[in-house]
Chain A
Amino acid sequence: MRVPWRGALPPAALAVLVTLCSGCGSDKIIQPMTENLRLMVNDNKPNANERIVFQRSLGDPAKYTTVYQAADGSDGAFGFRGYLDSRAGAGTVGPDGDPAILQSTVFSVRDLCALTAASAAPGCYLIAGAHDADGDDASEQGYLLLLGPAGELVDQLLVTSDTSDVWLNGIQRLDDSTFIAFGGERRQSVAFPFVARAVVTPDRHVSIRARKTLEAEPGKWLGQAAIFPPPPGENGLFAGVKVWSQDSGERVGGIRATLPDLADASLEWSHEVVAPTGSVASLQRFVRVGDVLVVVGTAEDGRKQPPPDDAAAWYSGLAVSYTRAGTLRWLTVIGEGDNNETFRDVVEAPGALLAVGTCDNHFFGPKDGPTHVFGYGWVCSIDPGTGQVLASLSFGQDRHSSGFGTASYRDGRLTCMGWTEWLIDGDPYRGWFCRVDVTDLAALRLAGESPTSMDRAPGGRRDPPDGRRTPGSLVSQRHGN
């Protein structure tokens, strides 16, 4: 039988051999291509990482974790509110940041405080919050939640009214087992300040024993507060408190009431905070220091020029102090760099106030590329008598954004919590538990040293021709209603 294709096989086989003998390459191309990878880094560098004595990242790297606020527990641990692995709520974290346990809540957690070792529920935390039940961006229900030492739900109390909306924004300890909650009550679309006295009973239940709506103050409601001990000879309640006004935004005020029934509760004074550098963006934390009130937050800073393309101004940290009677003692706007700065918490240390937050916070990236997020955890030492800046310390990495949301001072160590490892806008970030050495900050004050400025690269910030730099995100501007 004739097989016509057999004759073509020898030249085909020869061609195969020619092909195979054409050699194999030896110069690789993948590894050299990886050398073209570019890092986007912050030109400004942190100046105090050597002070970090311990740090730990919290949560799953693929999810969102951050600590907005923490409370010093009686057992060395901390209670906190924030996000853990993309779940919102309140929880506990161990003395060294582990374990972190979060209780998801149906309501928005607004404030928390720790119960003392002498209380009816040592190791527990009392959480205050508000719930927007109908999705209209205004709260209708208040919550008090008792959280156990292991982050477990011990008790929960719904604070409501049959004829109005009630919600809670702040909680402060009056004595070991008695607490004052601050918030608002809305009657026919008009809000009023609301205060309540809550107790934790020996069987670890929460109950409201007195409540008062300040009907003489329409259009206002209350937020975080700081309780003062009563003046000699008096037995009432006095608190410096954040006051929201429907007309003029956030204010600082003073509440006075008789105890235990909160009768005659009144708003004794309230002031708008006026910063010389621009409008005040937010008041974040109220703390009593001795017999004065200290408030920290964020203010526009017109000294940082030019302003960003897509916002009115850059922001700086704001610290302000009032007497118990509402007299302004000092006000300081602290802008260490030419990007965004904000204070989120302040604690008292020997000889100094330590305000914590974020510095050098900004977004940066090519026009058509991803938006990188930069920023550092910030600790600013402030003279409690004058508001003068004593030292400015920044912590973190130049590759991503970090920040502190809260801090606690013990024995020369400042335990800060917040977020870290946030690279790209919209991407996940992890929680940050960071303990820093601040033993010599008071010494800096005594020696009269000038504030530590942030290290700057020669020539300042690097802006590629096609790049953009925009303000980084501040903490959410919650209206507290």
Chain B
Amino acid sequence: MFRMNHGLQAAAGALLAAVCLLASVRNAAAGGLASLHWTLAVGATAQPSADLQFDALGLDFGGALNVALGSRYSLDEQLDVTVDLQIDEATSKPRGYEDAELTLSNSFIGPGLRYYPTKSSLRPFVQANVYYVSEMIVLEQFGDRKWKSRSGAGLGLAGGLELLATHRFSFPVTVQCLVAKPADNISGIGFNVGVTYNFRSPVR
């Protein structure tokens, strides 16, 4: 029950932040500056925490595949409000149990702000998010499947470069730090590369 309360608090906080930012978007849209952007990215995350390494079993979740889906709304040419979903997934086989496999899936969803200091076609950016985080571990062995999950809050800090290739498409390269400990310490540093569809060119 205690864990559930933490998860609900995190979800409520993330939802409140999203509502506040969307309210501001509505105002911004009325001002005619708004533009919507969708981004799909893939990459990798290094999760160095000792919570994710089990030498005796040969288990190591230190390297995860990262998939990210994000939606941004430009408040002006330099500031965007974002809602991001990220999933880090790592699979490992325990030594001595060759027919067993454990998969750690960490999901991050939450709002953020992105700031572009310049207005050129190669735009550096920095971004901060607050996340509702879900950590789930799945064990599969002998055809059986067991899983357990915990949720909590997390923080994301990112920076990168976005190349405006056309009016509609841009290509962001992002380096990010995700901090979260819903149960185990799943914090990590990673990168991803993606493609963004812009409903209107972000630079005019």
Contact = CB atoms under 8 A, between A and B. Distances in A.
Interface of A: 3-5, 7-9, 11-12, 14-16, 18-34, 36-40, 365-370, 372, 399, 423-424, 427
Main secondary structure of the interface of B (DSSP, over half): mixed
Contacts of B31: 4
Contacts of B166: none
Given A28-B184, A29-B135, A38 B20 contact: no
B130 A37 contact: no
A23 B135 CA distance: 15
12 contacts: A4-B28, A5-B28, A5-B81, A7-B24, A8-B23, A19-B153, A24-B152, A26-B183, A28-B184, A31-B51, A37-B141, A370-B99
Contacts of B100: 37-38
B148 interface: yes
A95 B132 CA distance: 63
B61 to A, nearest CB: 7
Interface of B: 3, 6, 9-10, 12-14, 16-17, 20-21, 23-25, 27-28, 30-31, 51-52, 54, 57, 59, 61, 75-76, 79, 81, 94, 96-100, 102, 104, 110-111, 130-132, 135, 137, 139, 141-143, 146, 148-150, 152-153, 155, 180-184
A24 B186 CA distance: 11
Given A22-B153, A25-B150, 11 more contacts: A5-B81, A19-B14, A22-B152, A28-B183, A28-B184, A29-B148, A30-B51, A30-B183, A34-B54, A36-B141, A40-B99
Contacts of A424: 98-99
A19 B6 contact: no
Nearest to A31: B54
Contacts of B61: 30
Nearest to A12: B20
Contacts of A22: 6, 9-10, 13, 152-153
B173 to A, nearest CB: 26
B90 to A, nearest CB: 11
Given A18-B9, A369-B142, A23 B153 contact: yes
Contacts of A16: 13, 17, 130
Contact of A23 (B54, B81, B152): B152
Contact of B97 (A27, A37, A365): A37
Given A15-B13, A369-B99, A38 B141 contact: yes
Contacts of A372: 99
A122 B57 CA distance: 48
Chain B CB within 10 A, most for which of A19, A30, A36: A19
Contact of B94 (A15, A25, A37, A369): A37
A33 B102 contact: yes
Main secondary structure of the interface of A (DSSP, over half): loop
A37 B97 CA distance: 8
Contacts, number: 151
A265 B104 CA distance: 71
A11 B23 CA distance: 11
Given A19-B14, A369-B143, A424-B98, A27 B6 contact: no
Complex A-B, nearest 4 residue pairs according to Cβ-Cβ distance, in ascending order: A19-B13, A22-B9, A8-B24, A15-B17
A282 to B, nearest CB: 30
Given A12-B17, A424-B99, A25 B139 contact: no
Nearest to B181: A24
B137 A25 contact: no
Contacts of B94: 34, 37
A4 B97 CA distance: 59
Contact of A8 (B21, B149, B150, B152): B21
B153 A4 contact: no
Contacts of B142: 38, 40, 365-366, 369-370
Contacts of A365: 142
Contacts of A38: 97, 100, 141-142
Contacts of B10: 19, 22
A76 to B, nearest CB: 35
B17 A27 contact: no
Contact of B130 (A4, A15, A36): A15
Given A12-B17, A424-B99, A427-B98, A33 B28 contact: no
A366 B145 CA distance: 14
Chain A CB within 10 A, most for which of B13, B54, B59, B142: B142
Contacts of A34: 54, 57, 59, 94, 102, 139
A11 B20 CA distance: 7
Contacts of A370: 98-99, 142
Nearest to B99: A370
A27 B24 contact: no
A27 B150 contact: yes
A8 B183 contact: no
A372 B42 CA distance: 38
Contacts of B137: 29-30, 33
A15 B99 contact: no
A23 B9 contact: yes
Given A4-B28, A34-B54, A37-B94, A18 B150 contact: no
Nearest to B132: A19
Nearest to A37: B97
Contacts of A366: 142-143
A427 B183 CA distance: 36
Given A15-B130, A23-B6, A366-B143, A29 B24 contact: no
Contacts of A14: 16
Nearest to A423: B98
Contacts of A25: 3, 6, 150, 152, 181-183
A20 B6 contact: no
B143 A368 contact: yes
Nearest to B155: A20
A29 B184 contact: yes
Contact of A18 (B13, B59, B75): B13
A369 B137 CA distance: 20
Given A8-B24, A22-B9, A23-B6, A33 B148 contact: yes
Contacts of B132: 19
A38 B144 CA distance: 11
